[in-house]
A and B are shown apart, each in its own frame.
Chain A
């Protein structure tokens, strides 16, 4: 056994010496054969000797052999690296090589823009409400003061599922549901999918996203509507943005107002501007004071409470903000389109 140990150590020294003298890959290969060959290598022949040992000695000797084997393997590996293709070991790493970036998924621009809008309103103390996309005629129209058979309904061209069920044409039904479920004060925005019976073209889609807002409390005035929407638009676009409110009509608000912002393309300087048709203005929001009949419909006394509501299309606003010429791009889900917005 002692003899065995000495021999193992001797082999180790011999190996180290031989390795130090090795000059190329070929001599390394020879060394590997001498020591590790499965048929006649040094390690193999020593292993044969173990058979004669007593069990307790066997395990000790085995460990010794294992150590030798590991030593030889490790050293050979290290040496190998030195000899194989020494020209690839460069003095200096090419630091101009491109780094390895991680592929992050990109949010959809509509969601991105929606969240941008939501965050501004959250900062003004609004909360977010949602509601069903499949609605009844009552919530989508009647409760919002659209009488049956009134031509006002033509502006909200509707996809029907049955006599009474439809795909909501705006997120306004959620206003009604919120006012039924809660007592004022109410200060909410309602984002979501809405539907219109429109054939897709660059400025129309049968489905798009909307954000609506509703504030109901004692003493809410048109001045509050202006204050809220001006703050919102200036935050969304920029501080010096020109904004105007002009009279309009929605069945569920009275007085009603359309909100225009200055044309971001020509700033009112181009009579032939295609974006604003030379008017210098671009319609961005519909709004108004909640119609007293709408308040009555949800058992809120219009003599005690008042409110304002507003709504905007998300794609339309994003199109205007980024000068995107075609609304259909949003739902093609072309990666070259979607991934542009990651950093916006």
Chain B
């Protein structure tokens, strides 16, 4: 809300230096966001709140300053040059829907000379950022910005039958607004109508036909109170928001319309007008006075500071509340109509706190009576996962949750995407069903800016419809492409590949204690044929990884192959991880045996693992593949595999013969199962 210091002086004699006044305003909750000097005036831009429509005018702001500084508001006089004719004789006002229009005031000004505004009025209108239109329209705006009460001026001659009927619009009715926009109306909207047709959309905007023009002579001034919800719904529906609707939908001061009408009428007499006798005030069910009980004890309970009861009483009275002592330290407080925000004791306590000063409330620490539950396991696992991934050289990304129909079509996740009804753009009209879209964007972004390699992970939700319900699923995705780490003199630059990703996932499962897990070759829409594995934990597929489909890379203009993984963390973390158990470390030396074979090129490591596993070898600590190659020294179609077995015994040193025996068993088992040939010289004892 724009506030002019000079204009404020119409209501209050304030002579604080501007900076002191601004501080004061900030500290009572009228935050000055910006201010500037304009000639001799100072213009403030004050942040106002949805519950304080009274501060949407200079009068309201003056009230606050008066209360803060202990000043009195100036009494304003609105002299009228009256004529004999009664308002009711000049125009008949009928409220047909008192729920949507509880109060309607009107007064007629005859013989106004419509023309340019006088200097003082034009200046004020321009301060508010509006263009001066003519003296009558400017007066209506002036009253609005002065008092926050919207008023409207009709050309009386254009009101058919000299009637004002406040009613719901009829189906099929329409109106051309002041802004020359054609609006079709419906029965949920309240209109101001004459005998024939709507002449204004109540509380929102006037009609063009009945508006004040240069030839207008007699004016009907409307000053009313409209139901805030009705105004808001209408304003939203027709997509028109005005200074008036902004105030009405926040709930106006129902006691104020007569005063605003008189103020406007008085100002129009300056342009040669004469005012009809007796204001029309249709107010079938006057609003009840609101009272709230305030207990001094509660002030202390809520604020944590002892505030003198006299201070509380005085603050509320200064703000226009009527404070009546009920018994010791309990008051009955009557709320002025302009304070639509005050309904409960807590609201009054806020008023006291505002003027007492938040800065004077002491600083205490809340006692911890009962400890909070320990950190959730899931969060711990997420953080552990992140550390493992950092360690493997993956950077963390966060992407928007949005997706688009095009993206969803590319990824074919098979999940039904959730639509946003009012998206900011068609590129963000869905919620993502995979994290891959964002991560591929991130690869493209960084590669286009000179990165040699990009390795990202993201932990976040994907969203989809599941049996008509919307579901959020915590997901971990990884992407890896290009060089691993920057080039360095000390080692060769290395490109990422499938096994780097696989190893990262293996580490993840191991460090999170999700063993045993297994991999299963399975086709998946994200990946190239025969290039994807499923990660299986306790018979459930947790996710997939592999070489991303060429068509996806093309869609993101990526040249380098990208390996990617997507895991369902909800499913994974839903499974109990293996409980940790300490196992004693043997004092006796371990024995390592390396065995090299020539094998058929198509034998799978998983099969070897199975055969070795079935042997249930005693004392076997670990078993790994440490070398694998093919080439000129190996027969065509064959590979050389080197396996390392590590043995240990908890209570004694293992004998060579014992291990020899076990080793023979391994060799014969693998030989029998896969037709493995022991490699010449490939047997070294350590």
Taking A128-B379, A160-B420 as contacts, is the C-beta distance between A223 and B398 under 8 angstroms?
no
Q: Are A223's CB and B488's CB within 8 A?
A: no
Using Cβ atoms and an 8 Å threshold, which residues of chain A touch B363? 223, 226-227, 230
B31 interfacial contact with A, CB 8 Å: yes
- B49 interface neighbour in A132, A187, A249, Cβ under 8 Å: A249
Contact yes or no, A108 B29, CB < 8 A: no
Indicate which residue in B50, B345, B397, B484 contacts A333 across the interface (CB closer than 8 Å).
B397
- Distance between Cα atoms of A331 and B456 in the complex (Å): 13
Contact among B359, B386, B484 for A245, CB-based, below 8 A: B359
B470 proximity list for chain A (CB < 8 A): 134, 161, 165
B511 at the interface (CB under 8 A from A): no
Q: Is B422 an interface residue (CB 8 A)?
A: yes
- Please determine whether B303 and A185 come into contact, CB atoms closer than 8 angstroms: no
Proximity bits, A1-31, B CB within 8 Å = 1, else 0 = 0000000000000000000000000000000
Q: Is the CB of B350 within 8 A of A254?
A: yes
A105 contacts the other chain (Cβ, under 8 Å)? yes
**What's the interface size class on B, roughly?**
35 or more
- In the bound complex, CA of A338 to CA of B491 (Å): 26
Q: Are B391 and A187 in contact (CB under 8 A)?
A: no
Find chain A residues with CB under 8 A from B369 CB.
185, 217
Query: In this assembly, does A41 line the interface, its C-beta being within 8 Å of a C-beta of chain B?
Result: no
Assess whether B400 is interfacial by the CB under 8 Å rule: yes
**Closest residue on chain A to residue B383 by CB atoms:** A115
- A34 CA to B507 CA, complexed, in Å: 51
Looking at the complex, which one of B250, B390, B438 makes contact with A107 (CB distance below 8 Å)? B390
Given A215-B366, A306-B301, A292:B396 Cβ within 8 A: no
Closest B residue by C-beta to A110: B398
Provide the B442-464 mask, 1 if CB < 8 A to any CB of A, else 0: 10011001010011110011010
A126 and B420 alpha carbons, distance in the complex (Å): 34
Interface residues of A in 307-344 (CB under 8 A from B): 330-336, 338-339
B303 touching A246 by the CB < 8 A rule?
no
- The answer, yes or no, to whether B424 is at the interface (CB within 8 Å) is yes
Bound-state Cα–Cα, A274 to B365, Å: 35
Binary B-proximity of A270-292 (CB < 8 A = 1, otherwise 0) = 00000001010000000001011
CB of B56, distance to nearest CB on chain A (Å): 11
The answer to whether the Cβ of A89 comes within 8 Å of any Cβ in the partner chain is no
Q: Mark A189-222, 1 if CB is under 8 A from B, else 0.
A: 0000101011100000011000000010101111
Closest to A200 in B: B424
Given A223-B305, A223-B363, A246-B31, A152 contacting B50 (CB threshold 8 A): yes
* With contact pairs A160-B420, A228-B365 given, residues A105 and B358 touching in the complex (Cβ less than 8 Å): no
Query: Contact check: which of A134, A148, A254 meets B347 at CB < 8 Å?
Result: A254
Docked Cα-Cα span, A219 to B298, in Å, equals 11
Residues of the B chain whose Cβ atoms lie less than 8 Å from the Cβ of A126: 372
Of A127, A151, A227, most B-chain CB atoms within 10 Å = A151
B378 CB to nearest chain A CB (Å): 9
Q: Is the CB of B302 within 8 A of A107?
A: no
When distances are taken between beta carbons in the complex, the residues of chain A under 8 Å from B350 are 247, 254-256
B539 within 8 A of A: no
CA distance A107 to B397 in the complex (A): 8
Q: What is the CA–CA distance of A296 and B282 in the complex, to the nearest angstrom?
A: 38
Bound-complex Cα distance A291 to B29 (A): 18
Query: Size class of A's contact patch?
Result: 35 or more
Q: Evaluate contact between B303 and A222: CB separation under 8 angstroms.
A: yes
Contact status A223-B364, CB under 8 Å: yes
Supposing A226-B362, A338-B395 touch, asked if A97 and B489 sit within 8 A by C-beta, the answer is: yes
Complex: A188 Cα to B484 Cα, angstroms = 41
A47 within 8 A of B: no
Taking the complex as formed, is B587 at the interface, i.e. its CB lies under 8 A from any CB of chain A?
Answer: no
Residues of A within 8 A of B396 (CB): 105-108, 111, 338
Write out the residue numbers on chain B whose beta carbons fall within 8 Å of the beta carbon of A248: 29, 31, 49
A222 touches B361 (CB 8 A): yes
Instruction: Mark A85-124 against chain B: 1 for CB-CB distance below 8 A, else 0.
Output: 0000000000001101011111110110000000000101
B353: Cβ under 8 A from any A Cβ = yes
Enumerate chain B residues within 8 angstroms of A207, measured Cβ to Cβ: 400-402
Which of these, B366, B425, B446, contacts A335 with CB under 8 Å? B446
Contacts of A150 in B (CB 8 A): 50
B16 within 8 A of A: no
Question: A296 to nearest B CB, angstroms?
Answer: 10
Given contacts A108-B398, A255-B353, contact A334 B445 (CB under 8 A): yes
| Residues in chain A near residue B392, CB distance under 8 A | 105
Cβ of A83 within 8 Å of any chain B Cβ, yes or no, is no
Instruction: Verify if B33 is at the interface (C-beta below 8 Å from A).
Output: yes
In the complex, which of the residues A107, A128, A148, A162 contacts B386, with contact meaning CB atoms closer than 8 Å? Answer: A107
Judge whether B126 is part of the interface by a CB distance below 8 angstroms. Answer: no
In contact, A226 and B368 (Cβ under 8 angstroms): no
B249 near A100 (CB under 8 angstroms)?
A: no
Residues from chain B with Cβ under 8 Å of A98 in the complex = 488-490
Rounded to whole angstroms, the CA-CA distance of A85 and B144 in the bound complex is 94
Q: Residues of A contacting B366 with CB < 8 Å?
A: 187, 215, 217, 220, 224, 227-228
A107 to B396, CA, bound (A): 5
**A206 CB contacts on chain B under 8 angstroms:** 400, 402, 424, 428
Report chain A residues within 8 Å CB of B69: none
Among B301, B346, B401, point to the contact of A219 (Cβ < 8 A). Answer: B301
Query: In this assembly, does A56 line the interface, its C-beta being within 8 Å of a C-beta of chain B?
Result: no
Q: Check A167 for interface membership: any CB of B closer than 8 A.
A: yes
Cα A248 to Cα B29 in complex, Å, equals: 5
User: Do residues B232 and A151 form an inter-chain contact, with CB atoms below 8 A?
Assistant: yes
Complex CA distance for A61 and B394, rounded to whole angstroms: 56
Contact, CB under 8 Å: B449 / A334: yes
Name B358's contact: one of A104, A198, A245 (CB within 8 Å). Answer: A245
How many angstroms between the C-alpha atoms of A85 and B340 in the bound complex? 93
User: Which residue in B368, B395, B456 is a CB contact (below 8 Å) of A125?
Assistant: B368
Contact between A255 and B354, CB atoms less than 8 A apart? yes
Given contacts A207-B402, A219-B301, A221-B302, 15 further A-B contacts (CB under 8 A): A98-B489, A102-B393, A105-B391, A106-B390, A125-B371, A127-B372, A134-B470, A134-B472, A167-B401, A226-B358, A226-B361, A226-B364, A247-B350, A249-B49, A258-B31
User: Which 6 residue pairs of A and B lie closest in terms of their CB atoms, listed nearest first?
Assistant: A221-B304, A247-B29, A223-B304, A249-B49, A255-B350, A127-B372
5 CB contacts below 8 A, A to B, read A159-B423, A193-B460, A227-B365, A335-B446, A338-B395
Question: What is B's interface to A at a CB cutoff of 8 Å?
Answer: 26-29, 31-34, 49-52, 228-229, 232-233, 246, 249-250, 301-305, 341, 344-347, 349-350, 353-354, 358-359, 361-366, 368-376, 379, 386, 389-402, 418-425, 428, 438, 441-442, 445-446, 449, 451, 454-457, 460-461, 463, 470, 472, 484-486, 488-491
